[in-house]
């Protein structure tokens, strides 16, 4: 009997090894330190990929593969997920999304700040037919729902109008939205009371979605705005998130201590609330952000009529002056840079420069007049320098803050966009991990991968595990750096060696390939999922 066991053992022992030798991977990544996205410590291992899926993690150095990627001296991590992106306009024009791939971003989520395509199904179908390099998903925008049902009117919705918005939101969830985005700072979202948003949020929550918000105020009333965001989640019965959390205006700096306390207390009592953030001391939005929201009711034509009425123009002008001195202007017109304008000769200049060019003193009053003239011609996108480095670090240190760019997919060399489109993720890894040590490397990767994946219920992405989708970034933690600057933003991040999306190599040895393996990703409530 013993001899028979020995014979059987001798026959069986080589069999797994024989199977292993015959196994063939499409891609093997060798020699790197694995940061699996969970926040756990790194470990040495190789990653084997078959098709679009991680097939094995272990000692695969000698395993046969069609492609072998060297990761020695580098970190191998899950592809980064940008939960707050504005790439709808750029993805068709620039399908390789090189500005994102070179940061290690493999998935972007659009439809933020209360604005999205509607209905979603035709857009998602168009996107599915396109060839793109990154995965792409959408929220449905509350502002878009309101505009569709009510227009730009500054009033409460009727019960029937709320019913219509809820039905549109329900269909968007069935079409594949990940949740509801609100832009309560922007019009027409600003005209909605909290109760309206809660009613729509309830429908989204019933379909497994989340709520993500550009809050009503990120300056003097930021604390109440965080309370409102928490309330929407608590009473709406769904996860809720403070988008691109920041504190605008020097008079308000330090209020992040209070907002973080509110979030922590809410979580302690069972409210599922989290944060996302970009790591820059400047924000970016249209020049309309300087105007009081009431002045925008009815759209551009109505605004022009108000500006032609002396009393209303004076009220609008004073509100803009206050915004320049106390909020987005950071106390000086020189802090407001025009990123993209239809009117020639303005892009790349700040309001103080433009005033001087027009032989005016660079005062807030003159800057307000210039802003009015710009908005009358359709407005510009702008960059506003009015955020504190201390608030950035404090918000970033909170354990449930994830990284997001709030950027887009720009055309290289066109206009002067905020550098976050080119550098947000690399900047966290270079400046705030390696240099300032606000985060550990393991925790930073968690905030870029498994945390947003869990938030979105993307349970097949965000971690390096056999069976997960092979969205992977390989980067050098000692060299990764954001190169984009405010005056010279069109500079790609450096230090990312390889990037794979759905198992296909889109960046190899820091060179873009021609692969376009990105997919449309659908939310948890999609019909027939």
Distances (CA, A) of 220 to 223, 248, 373, 495: 8, 8, 27, 39
- Measured distance CA(206)–CA(479) in Å, rounded: 45
- What is the helix, strand, coil percentage profile of the chain, to 5? 40, 20, 40
Beta-carbon contacts of 504 under 8 Å, excluding residues fewer than 6 positions away, are 52, 515, 517
Instruction: Retrieve residue 315's tokens.
Output: 């009220």
What does the pLDDT look like over 374-426, one tens digit per residue?
999 999 999 999 999 999 999 999 999 999 999 999 999 999 999 999 999 99
Q: Which of 248, 250, 251, 232 is nearest to 240 (CA)?
A: 232
In whole angstroms, what is the distance from residue 498 CA to residue 479 CA?
14
Residue 24: band (very low, low, confident or very high) from pLDDT cuts 50, 70, 90: confident
Find out whether 179 and 114 touch, Cβ atoms under 8 Å.
no
Give residue for tokens 């909170």. 398
Tokens of residue 398, six digits: 């909170």
Residues 6+ apart with CB under 8 A from 27: 48, 49, 65, 66, 67, 68, 69, 470, 500, 503, 505
Q: Give this prediction's pTM.
A: 0.94
Tokens standing for residue 162: 């709320």
pLDDT digits (tens, 9 = 90+) for 129-179: 999 999 999 999 999 999 999 999 999 999 999 999 999 999 999 999 999
Residue 11 has pLDDT above 80, yes or no: no
Instruction: Kindly report, residue by residue over 313-371, the tens digit of the pLDDT.
Output: 999 999 999 999 999 999 999 999 999 998 889 999 999 999 999 999 999 999 999 99
For residues 275 and 247, is the Cβ–Cβ distance under 8 A?
no
Query: Exposure of 495 by Cβ count < 10 A (0-12 exposed, 13-18 middle, 19+ buried)?
Result: buried
pLDDT in tens, 182-210: 999 999 999 999 999 999 999 999 999 99
Which is it for strands 80-82 and 282-286: parallel, antiparallel or unpaired? Answer: unpaired
Structure confidence by residue, pLDDT tens digits, 337-353: 999 998 889 999 999 99
Q: For residues 122, 519, 413 and 444, what is the CA-based torsion angle, rounded to 10 degrees?
A: 120
State how far the Cα of 351 lies from the Cα of 506, in Å rounded to an integer.
40
- At 47 the three-state DSSP class reads strand
Q: Which two tokens stand for residue 524?
A: 């948890």
Q: Per-residue pLDDT for 529 more than 70?
A: no
Name the phi and psi angles at 506, rounded to 5.
-105, -20
Place of tokens 């709406």: 236
Q: Where do the domains of the chain lie, and which CATH numbers do they carry?
A: 2-76 (2.30.40.10), 79-281+387-458+474-501 (3.20.20.140), 286-385 (no CATH)
């Amino acid at each position: 009997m013993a001899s028979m066991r020995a014979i059987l053992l001798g026959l069986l022992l080589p069999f797994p090894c024989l199977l292993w030798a015959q196994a063939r991977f499409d891609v093997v990544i060798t020699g790197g330190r694995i940061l699996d996205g969970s926040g756990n410590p790194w470990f040495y291992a190789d990653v084997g990929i078959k098709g679009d899926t991680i097939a094995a993690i272990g000692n695969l150095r000698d395993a046969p593969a069609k492609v072998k990627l060297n990761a020695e001296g580098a970190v191998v991590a899950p592809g980064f997920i940008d939960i707050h992106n504005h790439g709808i306009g750029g993805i068709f024009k620039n399908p390789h999304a090189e500005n994102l791939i070179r940061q290690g971003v493999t998935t972007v989520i659009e439809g933020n700040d209360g604005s999205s395509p509607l209905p979603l199904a035709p857009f998602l179908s168009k996107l599915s037919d396109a060839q793109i390099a990154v995965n792409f998903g959408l929220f449905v925008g509350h502002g878009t729902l309101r505009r569709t049902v009510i227009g730009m009117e500054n009033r409460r919705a009727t019960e029937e109008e709320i019913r219509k918005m809820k039905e549109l939101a329900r269909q968007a969830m069935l079409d594949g939205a990940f949740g509801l985005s609100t832009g309560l700072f922007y019009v027409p979202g600003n005209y909605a009371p909290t109760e309206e948003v809660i009613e729509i949020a309830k429908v989204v929550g019933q379909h497994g979605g989340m709520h993500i918000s550009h809050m009503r105020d990120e300056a003097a009333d930021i604390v109440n705005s965080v309370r409102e965001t928490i309330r929407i989640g608590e009473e709406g019965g769904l996860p809720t998130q403070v988008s691109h959390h920041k504190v605008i205006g020097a008079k308000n700096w330090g209020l992040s201590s209070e907002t973080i306390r509110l979030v922590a207390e809410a979580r302690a009592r069972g409210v599922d609330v989290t944060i996302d953030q970009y790591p820059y001391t400047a924000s970016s939005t249209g020049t309309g952000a300087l105007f009081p929201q009431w002045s925008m009711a009815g759209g551009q034509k109505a605004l022009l009529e108000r500006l032609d009425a002396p009393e209303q123009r004076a009220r609008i002008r004073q509100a803009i002056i206050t915004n320049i001195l106390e909020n987005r202007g950071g106390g000086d017109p020189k802090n407001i840079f025009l990123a993209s304008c239809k009117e020639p000769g303005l892009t790349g200049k700040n309001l103080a420069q433009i005033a001087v060019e027009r032989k005016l003193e660079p005062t807030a009053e003159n800057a307000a007049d210039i802003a009015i003239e710009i908005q009358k011609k359709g407005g510009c996108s702008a960059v506003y320098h009015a955020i504190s480095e201390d608030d950035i670090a404090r918000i970033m240190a909170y354990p449930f803050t994830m990284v997001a760019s709030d950027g887009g997919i720009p055309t290289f060399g066109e206009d002067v966009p905020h550098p976050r489109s080119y550098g947000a993720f690399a900047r966290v890894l270079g400046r705030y991990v390696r240099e300032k040590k606000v985060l550990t490397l393991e925790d930073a990767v968690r905030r870029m991968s498994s945390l947003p994946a869990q938030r979105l219920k993307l349970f097949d992405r965000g971690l390096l595990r056999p069976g997960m989708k092979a969205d992977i970034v390989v980067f050098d933690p000692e060299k990764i750096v954001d190169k984009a600057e405010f005056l010279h933003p069109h500079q790609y991040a450096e230090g990312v060696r390889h990037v794979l999306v759905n198992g296909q190599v889109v960046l190899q040895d820091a060179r873009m390939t021609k692969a376009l393996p990105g997919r449309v990703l659908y939310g948890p409530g999609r019909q027939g999922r």
